């Protein structure tokens, strides 16, 4: 079995613990139910998964959103967040408290029975859509996400444009690029974000008359299905070493884990979504695993002083960096 013992501990690389900042972002993973089963999914979501938010945790999260005005962004993810319990109540709780709502959408969900209302619902609630489109070429997208996903994604983007997305300043539509999974040790980081964004915009406008706001380049972290794939190919340790060799200290100031809390469908709290998938909980000052119940009881979001780190953190700090909002520098 491969181990990570030959990869320098991330905190040792920093020569100090990674400290938390003031919390302004609440990222909620509503569950693992999804209409797709993408090959690179770190959540390991699929149509066969049934784990989702409970009514009790949903009520707590709504209370959390109302209680803390310092939360600027409520970031909803999954699975397909739209398919899991509590989605609309959380959107509406965030909007009534004047917080920005981000939904990480796979776009194809709009064509699943029962979810055709979503584009207009998003527009009415000024939801910021961050949509996965790991390439602007159909073959590459379908290889990663499933047959026909590219065509459905194009139709969804055209529909969103008709509703005003990327034209109305209150209707933001962002796309996410992920590199193809490596087949050998010729690893590569994401291309430069601004240049790739211009390539995306030119191609999608010329070929499909599609407009969008921003492109986010996100590194494939060795977590979930990506980790399993790398292990099968005997590339897991070499890939970690590659990420470590491209460590960029300038990214540390901007890491998303420093000002966000990631919450799972059970109400457990993590520093980021990757730690959530690897079951590495955030800790309070007493070293106890943090929960939403504790946040509410303490009337504070700032109970974490140090971020829990692991070797895959090199993925967020390699090259220009990587986050849920794309490159860091």
What is the CATH class of 22-183+192-217+258-307? alpha beta
**Burial zone of 245 (CB within 10 Å; 0-12 exposed, 13-18 middle, 19+ buried):** exposed
Residue-range domain boundaries for the chain: 22-183+192-217+258-307
Strand partners, 73: 25, 100
Q: What are phi and psi of 11, to 5 degrees?
A: -65, -35
Strand partners, 175: 131, 215
Strand partners, 151: none
Distance CA 137, CA 200 (A): 10
Helix/strand/coil percent split, the chain, to 5? 40, 15, 45
Q: Token pair of 195, please?
A: 């240049």
User: Reduced to 3 states, what is the DSSP secondary structure of residue 82?
Assistant: helix
What pLDDT was estimated at residue 39?
81
Residue where the block lists tokens 């998303």: 256
Ordered mean pLDDT values, 10 residues apiece, the chain (329 residues): 65 90 98 91 93 97 98 97 98 98 97 98 98 87 85 97 98 95 95 97 98 97 94 97 96 97 98 96 96 98 97 96 96
Distance CA 189, CA 314 (A): 12
Q: How far is CA 98 from CA 66, 137, 299, in A?
A: 10, 37, 20
8 Å CB contact between 236 and 221: no
């Amino acid at each position: 079995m491969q181990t990570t013992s030959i990869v320098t501990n991330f905190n040792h690389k920093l020569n100090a613990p990674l400290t938390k900042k003031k919390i302004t972002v609440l990222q909620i993973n509503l569950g693992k139910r999804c209409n797709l089963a993408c090959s690179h999914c770190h959540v390991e979501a699929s149509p066969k998964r049934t784990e989702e938010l409970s009514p009790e945790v949903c009520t707590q999260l709504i209370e959390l959103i109302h209680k803390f005005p310092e939360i600027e962004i409520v970031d909803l993810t999954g699975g397909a967040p739209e398919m899991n319990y509590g989605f609309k109540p959380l959107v509406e709780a965030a909007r009534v408290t004047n917080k920005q709502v981000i939904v990480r959408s796979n776009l194809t969900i709009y064509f699943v029975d029962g979810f055709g209302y979503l584009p207009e619902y998003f527009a009415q609630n000024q939801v910021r859509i961050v949509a996965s489109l790991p390439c602007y070429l159909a073959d590459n997208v379908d290889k990663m996400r499933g047959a026909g996903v590219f065509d459905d994604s194009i139709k969804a983007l055209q529909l969103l444009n008709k509703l005003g997305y990327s034209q109305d300043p209150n209707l933001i539509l962002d796309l996410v690029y992920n590199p193809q999974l490596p087949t050998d040790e010729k690893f590569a980081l994401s291309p430069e974000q601004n240049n790739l964004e211009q390539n995306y915009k030119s191609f999608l406008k010329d070929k499909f008359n599609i407009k969008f706001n921003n492109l986010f380049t996100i590194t494939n972290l060795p977590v979930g299905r990506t980790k399993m794939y790398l292990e099968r190919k005997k590339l897991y340790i070499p890939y970690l070493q590659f990420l470590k060799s491209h460590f960029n200290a300038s990214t540390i100031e901007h890491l998303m884990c420093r000002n966000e809390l990631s919450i799972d469908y059970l109400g457990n709290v993590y520093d980021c979504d990757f730690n959530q998938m690897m079951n590495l909980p955030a800790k309070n000052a007493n070293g106890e695993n943090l929960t939403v119940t504790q946040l509410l009881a303490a009337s504070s979001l700032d109970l974490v002083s140090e971020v829990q780190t692991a070797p895959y953190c090199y993925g967020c700090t390699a090259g220009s960096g990587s986050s849920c909002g794309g490159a860091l520098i």
